Structure 1
Amino acid sequence: MPELDPFTRISTAIEDRLRLAFKANRWDFHIVPDPLSDAEFRSLVTRTPLLALSFRQMNPPDKGVGRRFSGNLGMRLTIVVKNPNGRQYRYLGDAKGPGLFPSMSGAALLLNGFTVADLGTIFVGAIAQAYAEGFPDLNAAIATIDLTMLATFGDILGDFENADDFLSTLSSFEPWPDPELQPRDEPYDVRTP
């Protein structure tokens, strides 16, 4: 069956690949929006070190895509490390925490050239140091790694109609609020006050 949801597939494949070195008992992992707002960034960085993965875009080639959609799928990995021994250790690391530079290198080595079966191969683009405007923790260091993959997906053989598991994720969920509190077919306001 062709890949019907490359976005979920690449996200889980990247996390699984990173977990070879960035162990779950030490590193927090989140899928986040891009761009990441200041408020969301602050809410995520409650535990470090942190890996945050975001989907950026999928751009088709200029010549068109044909019967199956293809294009450059872009993701961004944000790495946040912090060291309780002070700012001088946040880049190189020590026994109390990983350094930003070895973390960037490790992630790039794990992901560059990594092939996700039936989807494509990930390539590392820009690796850059970043900062969060107004973030008060001076013992933290932040980097971003841009990832790209030429991915092709789609349904040319009628597989979409037979993909019950995939289709159920699109429409077999229980919308909130609880139907016992409000009738299911009544409109409800999803905005938060």
Structure 2
Amino acid sequence: MDLAYAPIRKMEPAIVDRLRLAFPEKDFAIERVPQTLTLTEFKRIVHQAPFIGLAWTGMKPDPASGRILKGFMLWRLILVFKASNSLETRFKGDRRGIGLDAMADVAVALLQAAEIPGVGVATVTGATSVIADGWTDENVVIAQVDFNVAFQISPAAFQLVTLDDLQRIGVSWAFAEDPETTVVTDETELPEE
């Protein structure tokens, strides 16, 4: 099975590359995170602030899809900033100009209508200020930017075309206890009253 064309796998590095246009590695940590962080995980990433977490949150298929699945992969950026001195720098920025307001504005601008190479176009669907339950450090602020990326995929992209291809990855379906003697049909017997 060839995973080179798997949508999520293909999107992640392209999204990070897009973010790196304005969020250089020397100043911003970017890594994959779950869409909901545990308090332990949040404590870890606060020490890396300014931090950008990239979370895959799901997939929404286009109901008009045929044999080729079309739809949107749903993503979220989790932006974390920690004030370096006064609490106002949380939002307006520190001596380098980095603050949550600028991080959110730039992330939205970078992602709206961005072409993700070889995959599709990104669309920002929302941005919100959030809190981390159980976190009491007033110097830390968090925002989320939700976006989706259009995609399409079919089994051919994974080189899953024949029964042998599926058998190589161990796929089997159990239709009956004894498949040698059971004939599967599309006929339905209605119960008698």
TM more than 0.5: yes
- Which residue of structure 1 lines up, in the alignment, with residue 132 of structure 2? 132
Checking the alignment, whether the CA contact within 8 Å between 1:68 and 1:153 is kept in structure 2 is yes
1:107-122 map, 5 Å:
107-122=107-122
Checking the alignment, whether the CA contact within 8 Å between 1:131 and 1:141 is kept in structure 2 is yes
Alpha-carbon distance between aligned partners in 2 of 1:73 and 1:121, rounded to the nearest angstrom: 11
Alpha-carbon distance between aligned partners in 2 of 1:159 and 1:35, rounded to the nearest angstrom: 30
TM-score normalised by length of structure 1: 0.76
- Which residue of structure 2 lines up, in the alignment, with residue 44 of structure 1? 45
Give unpaired runs (5+ residues) of structure 2: 162-168, 170-193
**Alpha-carbon distance, 1:97 to partner:** 5.9
Alpha-carbon distance between aligned partners in 1 of 2:43 and 2:71, rounded to the nearest angstrom: 33
Computing the radius of gyration from Cα coordinates, the structure with the larger value is 2
Give % identity: 29
**Alpha-carbon distance, 1:111 to partner:** 1.1
Alpha-carbon distance between aligned partners in 2 of 1:36 and 1:116, rounded to the nearest angstrom: 26
Checking the alignment, whether the CA contact within 8 Å between 1:81 and 1:97 is kept in structure 2 is no
Alpha-carbon distance between aligned partners in 2 of 1:103 and 1:126, rounded to the nearest angstrom: 15
**Letter aligned with residue 160 of structure 1:** Q
Moved more, 98-107 or 30-39: 30-39
Checking the alignment, whether the CA contact within 8 Å between 1:131 and 1:142 is kept in structure 2 is yes
TM-score normalised by length of structure 2: 0.76
C-alpha distance after superposition, 1:83-121 (max 9, x if no partner): 121211100102056111111011111111111233110
C-alpha distance after superposition, 1:59-83 (max 9, x if no partner): 21234x3222222210000100111
Equivalenced residues, count: 162
Checking the alignment, whether the CA contact within 8 Å between 1:80 and 1:143 is kept in structure 2 is yes
Alpha-carbon distance between aligned partners in 2 of 1:5 and 1:80, rounded to the nearest angstrom: 29
Alpha-carbon distance between aligned partners in 2 of 1:132 and 1:99, rounded to the nearest angstrom: 18
1:160 aligns with 2:159: yes
Cα RMSD of the aligned pairs, angstroms, is: 2.5
Checking the alignment, whether the CA contact within 8 Å between 1:32 and 1:53 is kept in structure 2 is yes
Alpha-carbon distance between aligned partners in 2 of 1:96 and 1:116, rounded to the nearest angstrom: 29
1:85 aligns with 2:79: no
Checking the alignment, whether the CA contact within 8 Å between 1:87 and 1:138 is kept in structure 2 is yes
Q: 4+ residue runs of structure 1 moved beyond 3 angstroms?
A: none
Moved more, 19-28 or 37-46: 37-46
- Which residue of structure 2 lines up, in the alignment, with residue 167 of structure 1? none
1:15 aligns with 2:16: yes
**Alpha-carbon distance, 1:159 to partner:** 6.0
**Letter aligned with residue 56 of structure 2:** F
